[in-house]
Chain A
């Protein structure tokens, strides 16, 4: 019996038949995450319900030298949960228990399969919510959020997942179970919680997550401003930030994405807008009122030709609907599209947008721009038609956009992660030494390199080497004794 067959048997015995998938057709369900361009059918899928079961599976993988990949809801956009054909996919979507909700402590303790939005629903009646709000929050899991350090429209003011996770239980890549942090702040020792959040499933599997609960603001105001062009909208944002106002969210969309959103959800943004800006302010009512007046003024001064302020939650939802649907909406105006995710310093936005427009012009590939304008996180949607053979050109445009981000001192990913998709670009953002030192972290957690191997890092060093001494091909690799993926 091969290692994997033995593993499957052991899993059936330990977890029960319902928790183990070996049938090829069913396995196919798990062949990709939200980035469907990469597919791979895993050898085995297990669906544990407890920490002990996860530890059991990981422990057996460790003994047998079988690679494993964690998967939450599979909404990731960088191929982070892409399975291995020689490995196990550990799906955490059945681990949905909310262990405790302690309003007085402002903490909730949840299993990793709990859906992001469900936490907020659980505590809404007490006047609290879980702040990080990725657009996928109705389906994505907290475990996936932890792995990706997910953000959301409101992270401008409230921060990312890493600011809201205070404790973790982790099944380490050798199958041992460790706990870090918890409901009190400032745990003693190295900040392992901080290092784990955003590590994209490569350092172990989170089996319990302690999250901070945030008081719902007394007041929320949402404003939609329409401009003739992106430059005007951009200068409104600059004015808001320069005045020291910190909105909860500042989102921008260009004409093409407005067109797509209109076609998809009839969001009824002002006709003829070359750009719309959504600004949301929240906090104590008196403060929000004062800031709203300022923001309206800045928009008008920058040339807004129409400004709407939502008068209630229904109107607010209407304003957000266009923005939230934008990714999917471009499907209405283009047969195929790539969702890019890059970051530039906010002040470089106007220049980068002009460069993107020039790229689009020169290549004949349309690019719709939707982005978190407050923090310079771009989500260009590169539109193409595969049937017309435009794929390669579109990929080229998408790549060139990342070049622009790097040239401007930004990042190749603001929230979707490196995963499988962008590991080839890591070497352009970081030096070999930088990557080697990151690899020290990896080796401390997973010396055997079985935990989501082949993600994030282009050509990781073997554990046991010191950084900074890379010369040519590794001798072990050359001798065929070790494979560097």
Chain B
């Protein structure tokens, strides 16, 4: 096993061409914050470390567009952009993660409610395929429908179609003012329902298992009145302009068992109950209004294939899916971490075209892709 750290896209292409020449399998790693995600797969011959591909290629400030190489760390990019009063509107809690990793894992955080997920903000991408071919799609304008959108395919592909070399994103202005209205509750669905009936447009609503936090990001003059309205709606007087430390944090420690559960919006309550009934001690967090829940518990409590199937059957009735994000190898080995996938035959054909010999991160993705 060899680790290579290319510092230009040409170098990266050379690495992949060399690997192709010997038929070597290839793994790709950014900051490694999610290297445990996905199926265990098979060990690769070459590991490409992208962290030296870390140039901010162009920040077109007035156009609110940035092009960065994939190994740039999200936190560093945000610091740079903040200097211009802007940000890339993605807030997964792993700030050390590289931009390429965030895109490859389709990682998101609470503010997805307002801004969406990486697929929604990515406007251009450069990728290197397993045989070293460099290709680009999209561009550096937000509105653009020329050609297929390879960015969508690579977002959430976990490196199994090729390596993301650089990304162009649409940016947003940093909000002028921020307020957080919090309310203690065991029942997040109640808060979600109240919000659904109002015309408030929070940037995020996060439930950390004990309390719901409504994040308002708005014009300076509107902040206090909106916070007052929200406080009244929720029957709370906990208003601050500081985002709580728990906000958006994944509800697990390293070494724990961790699940991502999705659901149709109306099924939040039942989805929480389904998890609670099976794992009473599970820590749960939810992006309210987005249909995404996270749950975690200590590895000692285990997770069997039968338990997982049983939860999947219930969650499927809410149109959702259950993915085992993280688990100790001994636990993961016995599980189908991705679960059944609708339209798998088509995905298999896509994989076959992009990586005919199955050399990119072998076995890490859905159905063993």
Q: Which residues of A contact B (CB under 8 A)?
A: 102, 104-107, 127, 148-149, 151, 155, 159-160, 162-163, 172, 176, 178-192, 194-195, 197-199, 215-218, 238, 241-242, 244, 246, 283-284, 286-287, 289-291, 343-347, 372, 375-377, 409-418, 422, 426, 429-431, 433-438, 440-445, 456, 466-468
Chain A, Cβ-Cβ closest to B365: A189
Given contacts A186-B117, A188-B338, A435-B147, contact A375 B142 (CB under 8 A): yes
B23 CB, min distance to chain A CBs, angstroms: 15
A163→B117 CA distance, assembly (Å): 10
Given contacts A215-B199, A413-B144, contact A189 B137 (CB under 8 A): no
Given contacts A178-B345, A284-B201, A467-B135, 18 further A-B contacts (CB under 8 A): A104-B196, A162-B152, A180-B346, A185-B292, A189-B338, A189-B344, A189-B347, A244-B173, A283-B201, A284-B222, A290-B222, A414-B144, A430-B146, A431-B135, A436-B135, A444-B349, A456-B147, A466-B131
Residues B139 and A429 in contact, CB atoms below 8 Å apart: yes
Please tell me which one of the listed residues B172, B199, B318, B338 contacts residue A217 in the complex, with CB atoms under 8 A apart: B199
Residues B63 and A346 in contact, CB atoms below 8 Å apart: yes
Residues of B near A186 (CB, < 8 A) are 106, 117, 156, 260, 262, 292, 321
Residues B291 and A184 in contact, CB atoms below 8 Å apart: yes
Chain B, Cβ-Cβ closest to A418: B146
CB<8 Å pairs between A and B, sample of 30:
A155-B143, A163-B120, A178-B343, A180-B342, A185-B292, A187-B321, A189-B341, A189-B344, A191-B119, A191-B155, A192-B343, A198-B148, A215-B201, A246-B173, A284-B199, A284-B222, A286-B222, A286-B226, A289-B222, A290-B219, A343-B141, A343-B143, A345-B60, A346-B62, A347-B62, A376-B141, A376-B143, A430-B147, A438-B135, A441-B153
Please tell me which one of the listed residues A172, A189, A283, A377 contacts residue B143 in the complex, with CB atoms under 8 A apart: A377
Any chain A CB within 8 A of the CB of B323? yes
Chain A, Cβ-Cβ closest to B225: A286
Chain A, Cβ-Cβ closest to B140: A409
Residues of A near B346 (CB, < 8 A) are 172, 178, 180, 192, 444-445
A170 CB, min distance to chain B CBs, angstroms: 8
Residues of A near B226 (CB, < 8 A) are 284, 286-287
Chain A, Cβ-Cβ closest to B138: A411
Residues of A near B137 (CB, < 8 A) are 430, 434, 437-438
B140 CB, min distance to chain A CBs, angstroms: 6
Q: Which residues of B contact A (CB under 8 A)?
A: 60, 62-65, 85, 106, 116-117, 119-120, 127, 129, 131-137, 139-150, 152-153, 155-157, 161, 172-176, 196, 199-201, 218-222, 225-226, 260, 262-266, 290-292, 318-321, 323, 338-339, 341-347, 349-354, 365-366
Chain A, Cβ-Cβ closest to B195: A215
A419→B132 CA distance, assembly (Å): 30
Residues of B near A284 (CB, < 8 A) are 199-201, 218, 222, 226
A343→B136 CA distance, assembly (Å): 18
A202→B139 CA distance, assembly (Å): 21
A3 CB, min distance to chain B CBs, angstroms: 26
Residue with the highest number of chain B CB atoms closer than 10 Å, among A107, A218, A290: A290
Please tell me which one of the listed residues B139, B143, B318 contacts residue A184 in the complex, with CB atoms under 8 A apart: B318
A397→B221 CA distance, assembly (Å): 47
Please tell me which one of the listed residues B146, B200, B319, B338 contacts residue A183 in the complex, with CB atoms under 8 A apart: B319
Residues A287 and B144 in contact, CB atoms below 8 Å apart: no
Given contacts A189-B338, A287-B226, A438-B147, contact A163 B116 (CB under 8 A): yes
A241→B173 CA distance, assembly (Å): 9
Please tell me which one of the listed residues B143, B161, B176, B290 contacts residue A375 in the complex, with CB atoms under 8 A apart: B143
A181 CB, min distance to chain B CBs, angstroms: 8
Residues of B near A440 (CB, < 8 A) are 350, 353-354
A242→B60 CA distance, assembly (Å): 12
Residues B120 and A159 in contact, CB atoms below 8 Å apart: yes
Residues B153 and A191 in contact, CB atoms below 8 Å apart: yes
Residues A287 and B219 in contact, CB atoms below 8 Å apart: yes
Residues B350 and A184 in contact, CB atoms below 8 Å apart: no
A159→B117 CA distance, assembly (Å): 13
A191→B218 CA distance, assembly (Å): 32
Residues B152 and A194 in contact, CB atoms below 8 Å apart: yes
A158 CB, min distance to chain B CBs, angstroms: 11
A215→B350 CA distance, assembly (Å): 36
Residues A343 and B144 in contact, CB atoms below 8 Å apart: yes
A238→B64 CA distance, assembly (Å): 11
Residues A415 and B143 in contact, CB atoms below 8 Å apart: yes
Chain B, Cβ-Cβ closest to A151: B143
A296→B366 CA distance, assembly (Å): 52
Given contacts A183-B264, A188-B341, contact A441 B350 (CB under 8 A): yes
The 4 closest A-B pairs by CB, nearest first: A194-B152, A244-B173, A437-B135, A104-B266
A283→B320 CA distance, assembly (Å): 30
A19→B237 CA distance, assembly (Å): 63
Residues of A near B62 (CB, < 8 A) are 238, 241-242, 346-347
Residues of B near A194 (CB, < 8 A) are 119, 149, 152-153, 155
Residues of A near B117 (CB, < 8 A) are 185-186
Residues of B near A195 (CB, < 8 A) are 148-149, 152-153, 350
A419 CB, min distance to chain B CBs, angstroms: 10
A181→B133 CA distance, assembly (Å): 30
Chain B, Cβ-Cβ closest to A181: B342
Residues of A near B365 (CB, < 8 A) are 189
A151→B141 CA distance, assembly (Å): 14
Residues of A near B220 (CB, < 8 A) are 290
Please tell me which one of the listed residues A197, A287, A418, A467 contacts residue B147 in the complex, with CB atoms under 8 A apart: A418
Given contacts A217-B199, A441-B350, contact A198 B339 (CB under 8 A): no
Residues of B near A199 (CB, < 8 A) are 148
A436→B145 CA distance, assembly (Å): 17
Please tell me which one of the listed residues A180, A188, A218 contacts residue B366 in the complex, with CB atoms under 8 A apart: A188
Residues A412 and B146 in contact, CB atoms below 8 Å apart: yes
Given contacts A246-B173, A444-B350, contact A426 B147 (CB under 8 A): yes
Residues B146 and A426 in contact, CB atoms below 8 Å apart: yes
Chain B, Cβ-Cβ closest to A293: B221
B162 CB, min distance to chain A CBs, angstroms: 9
A238 CB, min distance to chain B CBs, angstroms: 7
A182→B347 CA distance, assembly (Å): 16
A176→B344 CA distance, assembly (Å): 13
B79 CB, min distance to chain A CBs, angstroms: 18
Chain A, Cβ-Cβ closest to B321: A188
Residues B319 and A184 in contact, CB atoms below 8 Å apart: yes
Chain A, Cβ-Cβ closest to B356: A466
A105→B132 CA distance, assembly (Å): 43
Please tell me which one of the listed residues A102, A159, A188, A438 contacts residue B148 in the complex, with CB atoms under 8 A apart: A438
A438→B135 CA distance, assembly (Å): 9
Residues B353 and A441 in contact, CB atoms below 8 Å apart: yes
Chain A, Cβ-Cβ closest to B315: A184
Please tell me which one of the listed residues A149, A189, A426 contacts residue B343 in the complex, with CB atoms under 8 A apart: A189
A61→B303 CA distance, assembly (Å): 48
Residues of A near B342 (CB, < 8 A) are 178-182, 187, 189
B265 CB, min distance to chain A CBs, angstroms: 5
Residues of B near A148 (CB, < 8 A) are 145
Given contacts A215-B199, A287-B222, contact A188 B146 (CB under 8 A): no
A454→B338 CA distance, assembly (Å): 37
Residues A375 and B141 in contact, CB atoms below 8 Å apart: yes
Chain B, Cβ-Cβ closest to A180: B343
